[in-house]
Chain A
Amino acid sequence: MENIIEIKNLKKKYDDKFELGKIDISIPKGVIVGLIGENGAGKTTLIKSILNIIKIDSGEIKIFGKDYKKEEKVIKEDIGVVLDNMFFPELLNAKDINNSMKDIYKNWDSKLYFSYLKEFDLPENKPLKSMSKGMRKKLEIVTAISHKSKLLILDEPTSALDPVVRSEVLEVLQKFIEDEEHSILLSTHITSDLERIADEIIFIDKGKKVLQKSRDEIIDNYGILKCDIDYFSNIDKKDIIAYKKTKYAYEILVNDKKQASKKYHNCVIDKITLEDLMVLVIKGEKIC
């Protein structure tokens, strides 16, 4: 399958506090990829590097098979962007944004834009500063999908939205990739959103990629093995990815729950959510 984003050996250092180290990522066409990780793990740094908002120290980034710097102009015609901070000048209104954008993107579709405004109940003439945070975020998302982009790069697009609007936005995103030509890379804290729509999950921790797997693979194969404190020593260390001790039991992250349930009859195996996975990997203890 053709890759829409390919990152090799990406490195970016911010003074001494933070470093994005040796990241390799490839994102295939036609999928929604969710980027997860705790605050400060490097999600925004990674997204800003891909978009050339910040300069990387070393590494190679290719988007649509083209070098992200040499062919930046062509590439960016086809990318829709939502950043973590609000970014439209607050004195402008939705109409003003249409007026500017139609001369910025070659493929800007005013008709589509205004139909999205209606769909999301966004006012045309109200300045952004008197809109709510959620409305402004919606407007940013609408802008990102109104120029026939092939790739959406979204940094925390749904975190300011209420559940109803979030679900509307997720539907729009799912529609966006329906034709298998489009792809989405989105970072979020709201892991339940990703359980709904993501095809693949990339998990970043402390500037390093911890895991990249399909959502189904994670949900089907990973699990939380729960056993009491005395039994813990019977568990093969190779099976433990990370574990957490609670008051009466151990919670162990395993990556093959079928095998684990055969091997350890005395234990219960729970289904895993992305949130459990994140918390256990970040906060849990590791043996090796």
Chain B
Amino acid sequence: MLGLIKKDFLLIKANLKSMIIIFVIYIMLAFQGTLDVTFIIPLIGIILFLSTFSYDDFNNWNSYAVTLPNGRKNVVRAKYIASIILMIILAVVAFSIGIGISYIKTNSINLDEIISSLMGTMLSSVIIISLLYPIVFKFGATNGRIILFAVVFGIAGIGTLIAQFIDMTPIINIINKLDNYLLIAIPIIYIILLGISYLISSKIYQNKEF
């Protein structure tokens, strides 16, 4: 499995060169204040990682990967673990740059704001990964992204509809109460979401034909 994780990082490394200009622009925008660095860097991670799925599809990698020892299990595992490693690396990078920007601009460090903004972005990254990977494993990278948009808009639409007819105050109250425990609650939510997503992806990949 380590080999497959390496392969994804080598792909990202090779791909990074062609995307470096975009990232420099993003980071400059962040310095200027148009974009929040704690938001943009984890997002870049997802874009980069999604490109590995696209290359896998484009180069028929999966039909070969399943012929490797324990291939069907390891491919899925490696994708999740590599994404988590990448997210952690990027969170650290975003955190450091965030501190830097905050210090340069205000001569002080607003740690609370950086951490809470980073937590929020990471949560959305985890949600995107958890939703997207099973879909991509099922339908491929290109179709998967389109389906993701449909799913996200669908959920948002249904959510809004429900919110109009049902009183949401009890749920909001629960979330508000959780606020005090957020630092513990959020990592647990990450693990649960990723765990469920991983199990679904494994099941899909186990029976897939290439």
Q: Is the CB of B69 within 8 A of A100?
A: no
Q: Is the CB of B70 within 8 A of A72?
A: yes
Q: How many B residues have CB within 8 A of the partner chain?
A: 27
Which of B4-12, B122-130, B190-198 lies at the binding interface? B4-12
User: In the complex where A76-B67, A103-B2 touch, is A91 in contact with B55 (Cβ < 8 A)?
Assistant: yes
- The smallest C-beta distance from A76 to any residue of chain B, in angstroms, reads 4
**Per-position 1/0 for B62-86, Cβ under 8 A of A:** 0110111111000000000000000
Interface residue? B59 (CB, 8 A)? yes
Q: Interface on B for A, CB 8 Å cutoff?
A: 1-4, 6-7, 10-11, 14-15, 55-56, 58-61, 63-64, 66-71, 207, 209-210
Q: Is the CB of B4 within 8 A of A83?
A: no
With the chains together, A51 CA to B1 CA distance in Å? 19
Residues in A whose Cβ lies below 8 Å from that of B70: 72-73, 76
Chain A 72-86 interface residues, beta-carbon cutoff 8 Å to B: 72-74, 76-77, 79, 81, 83, 85-86
- Residue in A closest to B2 when the chains form the complex, CB atoms: A103
Residues in A whose Cβ lies below 8 Å from that of B71: 76
Q: Is the CB of A87 within 8 A of B6?
A: no
Q: Is the CB of B68 within 8 A of A87?
A: no
Most buried by A among B11, B64, B66: B64
Residues in A whose Cβ lies below 8 Å from that of B14: 91-92, 96, 127
Partner of B63, one of A53, A74, A79, A105: A53
- Residue in B closest to A81 when the chains form the complex, CB atoms: B67
Give the interface size class of chain A: 20 to 34
Q: Is the CB of A85 within 8 A of B3?
A: no
Q: Is the CB of A91 within 8 A of B15?
A: yes
Partner of A53, one of B1, B10, B67: B67
Residues in B whose Cβ lies below 8 Å from that of A86: 59-60
Q: Is the CB of B4 within 8 A of A100?
A: yes
Residues in A whose Cβ lies below 8 Å from that of B4: 100, 104
Q: Is the CB of B3 within 8 A of A100?
A: yes
Chain A 147-171 interface residues, beta-carbon cutoff 8 Å to B: none
User: In the complex where A54-B210, A92-B14 touch, is A100 in contact with B6 (Cβ < 8 A)?
Assistant: yes
User: In the complex where A53-B210, A86-B60, A89-B55 touch, is A100 in contact with B7 (Cβ < 8 A)?
Assistant: yes
- The smallest C-beta distance from A46 to any residue of chain B, in angstroms, reads 14
- The smallest C-beta distance from B27 to any residue of chain A, in angstroms, reads 23
- The smallest C-beta distance from B46 to any residue of chain A, in angstroms, reads 19
Q: Is the CB of B2 within 8 A of A92?
A: no
The 9 closest A-B pairs by CB, nearest first: A103-B3, A104-B3, A87-B64, A91-B14, A103-B2, A100-B7, A100-B3, A54-B209, A76-B69
Interface residue? A55 (CB, 8 A)? yes
Most buried by B among A51, A53, A90: A53
Most buried by A among B2, B4, B14, B15: B14
